[in-house]
Structure formats: structure tokens, C-alpha cells
Amino acid sequence: MVEITTEHLSASAQDLSRAADLLARGGLVAFPTETVYGLGADAGNDRAVARIFEAKNRPSFNPLIVHLADLADIKALVKWNHLADRVAEAFWPGPLTLVLPLRAGAPVSRLVTAGLDTLAVRMPAAPVAQALLREIGGPVAAPSANLSGQISPTRAGHVLDGLTGRIEAVVDGGPCSVGLESTILGLAGPPTLLRPGGVPMDDLAEVLNTRVATRRETDHISAPGQTRSHYAPRARVRLNAVDFEEGETRLGFGDTDCDLNLSETEDLTEAAANLFEYLHRLDAQGARVIAVAPIPHLGLGVAINDRLSRAAADR
Ligand code: TXA
Ligand code: MG
């Protein structure tokens, strides 16, 4: 791969128009959403989308999420339905991705869907993402802006650590407020949770007013990118650590003695926002084993535990 210069852009109007210009010319531009930083490319440009996989070292062509700022533009790409209406009304813009049947002739590269007949769509809430998407005016394909298998980025600095020399630019919008990827809900068939994330499952079920299947029940419909080892720091990760052992770096939760605390007040929203940032920080400090205190499997805790178990999985 040829080294390219990576521009560190601000969120000023001038820099956003520079970012939009780079994207329009087939460039790769990382940008902040409220979940994590995404690595954006023009979703209609095959060459630009292919470059995403190359830059991330993504081993296979997993399908990507398409981002747009306007509901009408999203409806032009997918076959919409009444359940999509309900959740979009409740949670968009926000940390929710919907998988719906792709419309014939939608101007989206086949590499984005990896040849599937469904498309993942999302309307992010972060003002910088909204402003950039409006400036571009077309669909932007974006996975998380990290090298494949590594921890997702929640700051521009994390993106630069992994992708400098491989992408045209990163737009710096400060830290991500949610800090975990979006919840992915499959609505091409019966409602199915494909990935836990920023919108808790119970909130979705309440709005849908129907049962939401989980992936285990519907193994044939899955988010293909959900491999077991993922979000991996260099350090080994030990979960549900009640007692800490000699030589371990302690990642706590609640009122406990530890090196870094995800949330002293047991606030799961705060813990989600801190999770990837703290894993990045402990890696940078050269931690060898990170022992993580138990996190309740409630609300955002489900997504936190999902990411932690992938970080701890055998590689
Ligand atoms: O919060 C997020 O969702 C972030 C920000 C940047 O928007 N994006 C993100 O993208 O997490 P990525 O590529 O890291 O994860 C996308 C997931 C993958 O597991 C992929 O397999 C799944 O979405 N996916 C994409 N299209 C799909 C489809 N048509 N059907 C099922 N799963 C799909
Ligand atoms: Mg990712």
C-alpha cells in the first residue's frame, strides 16, 4: 500500500467542505459519530469502498453500514416498513442501525452489501456527522475507523494511531458521547437483534411492542462481521474479576479500588462512554493483563459485556 498524507481536520465549515471534497473524489475520511469514529467513503463508488477494506486490513468483504442525514434519502435506498417507522421515530437520529431489503437500482456499490439483498442504514445524531453528511448529500459507507480486529476509536487520536498514512483525512470532533457501536436491528424479516449496542434491547422491544429475536435463535440471519475475537487490545483481558491478582491492571466498576474506573457511580452510560477509551489507554501504558470487574447485564451493560467478551476471546 502506498503511504498517503493524512490530514487532521477540524469541524469548522471550511474543513468539513474539504472533507466532503476528498470523499467526492474517492478519498477515505474518518469522522466522529456519537457511537465511534467511522471510516467514510462514497457508498456509490466501488473503488472508494474497496479502499476501506484495504485500509482497515479487513480480511473479507463484510457488509458496511450506510450513513445519511435525511430519512427521505434513506427510504430511497431500502424497502421501508411500519416497524422501521416506529423505531426510526423513537431513536433516529441516534445509535441504531436498521437492516432492510435493498431497493433495486439503489445507488450503492455491491461491495457495501457484500452481495446481500439487504442494506444496513443509520442516521447518526452527532452534529459533526450530521453537518458532514448534509455537505456531501449522498450515502456514506462507514465501518469503525480502526484496523481490523483492534479496539474501535472514540477519539481522533485513536484513528490516527491506527490509520495514519492509509487514509486521506480525519475530522476531529472530540470524544464520542456514546462510545459503543450502534445497535443493529434486522427488519428484513421478523425483528432480530443482530448486534447489541447504543440503544438497549428493552427500549427497542418496548417501542416495537413485539418480541425481538436474538441472533442465537436465528443463526442464519447474522451480522457477518460479528466474529468472536474483536475489539482486542494487545493486553490479555480477564472478565468478571472479583479479586485482582498480582501484576494485573484493574479496570473497575462501582465503588472499588482499581487503576481505572469505568464508573464509580455504577452509571452504565458513563461506563459505555469510557470503555474503548480506557482500553486504548491501558494498551498505551503497556498493561499485560487487564482484569475487568463484573458489569451488570442490563441496559447498555449488555453491549458492554458483548464487547468485553470479544476483547477477551482467544485470538
Ligand atoms: O456505530 C456504528 O455502527 C459504527 C459507526 C461508524 O456508524 N459503525 C460500525 O461499523 O460499527 P462496522 O463495520 O464496524 O460494523 C458493521 C456491522 C458488521 O458486523 C456487519 O457485518 C453488519 O454491521 N452488517 C452490515 N450490513 C449488514 C447486512 N446487510 N446484514 C447484516 N449485517 C450487516
Ligand atoms: Mg468495527
**Which residue type, as a one-letter code, is found at position 194?**
L
Gap between the Cα atoms of 44 and 76, Å rounded: 14
CATH architecture of structural domain 7-218: Alpha-Beta Complex (3.90)
Longest Cα separation, the chain? 59
For a substitution probing ligand 1, which of 28, 128, 184 has the most ligand atoms within 8 Å of its CB? Answer: 184
Indicate the residue type of 56.
Answer: K
Delimiting residues of CATH 3.90.870.10 domain(s) in the chain: 7-218
pLDDT in tens, the chain (315 residues): 789 999 999 999 999 999 999 999 999 999 999 999 999 999 999 999 999 999 999 877 789 999 999 999 999 999 999 999 999 999 999 999 999 999 999 999 999 998 899 999 999 999 999 999 999 999 999 999 999 989 999 999 999 999 999 999 999 999 999 999 999 999 999 999 999 999 999 999 999 998 899 876 555 445 555 556 666 788 999 999 998 888 999 999 999 999 999 999 999 999 999 999 999 999 999 999 999 999 999 999 999 999 999 999 877
Residues in the chain: 315
Half-sphere exposure at residue 160, Cβ-oriented, CA atoms within 13 angstroms: 12
Which residues lie with the beta carbon below 6 Å from any ligand 1 atom? 33, 35-36, 38, 62-65, 97, 99, 113, 116, 118-120, 122, 142-144, 181-182, 184, 194-195, 223-226
Q: What is the 3-state secondary structure (H, E, C) of the chain?
A: CCCCCCEEECCCHHHHHHHHHHHHCCCCEEEECCCCEEEEEECCCHHHHHHHHHHHCCCCCCCCEEECCCHHHHHCCECCCHHHHHHHHHHCCCCEEEEEEECCCCCCCHHHHCCCCEEEEECCCCHHHHHHHHHHCCCEECCECCCCCCCCCCCHHHHHHHHCCCCCEEECCCCCCCCCCCEEEECCCCCEEEECCCCCHHHHHHHHCCCCEEHHHHCCCCCCCCCCCCCCCCCEEECCCCCCCCCCEEEECCCCCCCEECCCCCCHHHHHHHHHHHHHHHHHCCCCEEEECCCCCCCCHHHHHHHHHHHHCCC
For ligand 2, the distance from its centroid to the CA atom of residue 149, given in whole angstroms, is 8
Q: Which atom of ligand 1 is nearest to the CA of 116?
A: 29
Amino acid at 309: S
- What is the per-residue pLDDT for 245? 85
